[in-house]
Amino acid sequence: MTPAAVPAALRRVAGPVEGRLREVLDAEARRWREVDADLAAPLDALARFVLAGGKRLRPAFCHWAYVGAGGSPDDQAVVDAGAAFELLHAFALVHDDVMDGSLTRRGERTVHVEFDSTHADATWRGESRRFGEGVAILIGDLAEVFADRLMTGAPAQAFSVWNELKIELNVGQYLDVLGTARGGTDLATARRIARYKSGKYTIERPLHVGAALAGRLDELAPALSAYGDPLGEAFQLRDDILGAFGDQARTGKPVGDDLREGKPTPLLAIATERAEGTDAAVLDRVGRPDLGADDVAAIQGVLERCGARAEIEARIAALTVDAVTALDAAPLTAPAVRALRQLAAYVGSRDT
């Protein structure tokens, strides 16, 4: 499948959200530098992380659900919610990188590696790794606090959904950490992890927040979930493909990183169930952090030969069709339906 270009529905939302993020983070940096110059480093690191990359998908789904429910596309409330989603995403990614021991993100050093290096270069006391990870955790926590503050003016129902999605995100992350440690996760568990760790908080819940901001969640939730639930699964399945086969120049992470980490994905669950003989032995290498290029290529070969990759690709296509079809009956404004169709095509075929 040819990757879809970034759609206008995404570009339309990214600009205002990035402007709001810059405004918030610049203000915080100025505020805390006056207290202590040393506070510039973590706040600058957070700003670089948030502003230097990212697809802005979560703000886009929130925005178009809000517009679909009759909200004004220029309303500050939905811009603030979009910025909150990006800060929450930063919190999740920075912490995820610590848990996974990841060295790069978006082609740059991860936050904990950056501060590990700062400590080592300065020959400070204590262990550089612990310092780097501790600072990264605090930076992630700051991002979450800033996100919550942007949501404090939201209607009670929107804030309730916001809190629920944060619980779901943490529950999914725990299951991911547990599955990685145990290894050999079955398909049903792998799908559950994907749903709660990524799918719901990337698509379904941002849609719900957008509708709640417009005061129409109760009415629109079933239609939005009929679209967002399958598309959320498709999003995470595409992430799984990219984690195993992605181009480092596009993803910003080493090829096969998910294989080194032993991520409990549906892709690996299907392959483990099907592989036999020497192919099964090759899959036993999954989860070894020292996997070289030849090892990664061998595992990729098994994923291809046993049909696991083809099955996941077929599943992504089917889920995307389900999501788009659900829009036919959705009581949303016409511009929102068009935008959500664009976003579905992009989610299903992206290469980053």
pLDDT tens for 236-265 read: 999 999 999 988 888 888 889 899 999 999
Look-up of token digits 């290498």: 285
Look at residue 284 and tell me whether its pLDDT is greater than 80. Answer: yes
What does the DSSP 8-state code read for residue 290?
T
Look at residue 2 and tell me whether its pLDDT is greater than 70. Answer: no
Q: Is-contact 195 236, C-beta < 8 A?
A: yes
Region class of 276: left (phi > 0), else alpha (psi between -120 and 50), else beta: beta
Question: Measured between alpha carbons, how far is 47 from 28 in angstroms, rounded to an integer?
Answer: 10
Task: Report pLDDT digits (tens) over 140-176.
Answer: 999 999 999 999 999 999 999 999 999 999 999 999 9
3-state secondary structure of 93: helix
Q: Residue ranges of the domains in the chain? A: 8-349
Question: Measured between alpha carbons, how far is 138 from 115 in angstroms, rounded to an integer?
Answer: 12
Rg (CA), the chain: 20
Distances (CA, A) of 269 to 177, 220, 351: 16, 34, 22
Query: What confidence score (pLDDT) does residue 1 get?
Result: 58
Q: Does domain 8-349 have CATH number 1.10.600.10?
A: yes
Question: Measured between alpha carbons, how far is 89 from 142 in angstroms, rounded to an integer?
Answer: 12
pLDDT level of residue 3 (50, 70, 90 thresholds): low
Annotate 179-207 with b (16+ C-beta within 10 A) or e (fewer): bbeeeebebebbbbbbbbbbbbbbbbbbb
Question: Measured between alpha carbons, how far is 238 from 55 in angstroms, rounded to an integer?
Answer: 14
Model confidence, pTM: 0.95
* N residues, the chain: 352
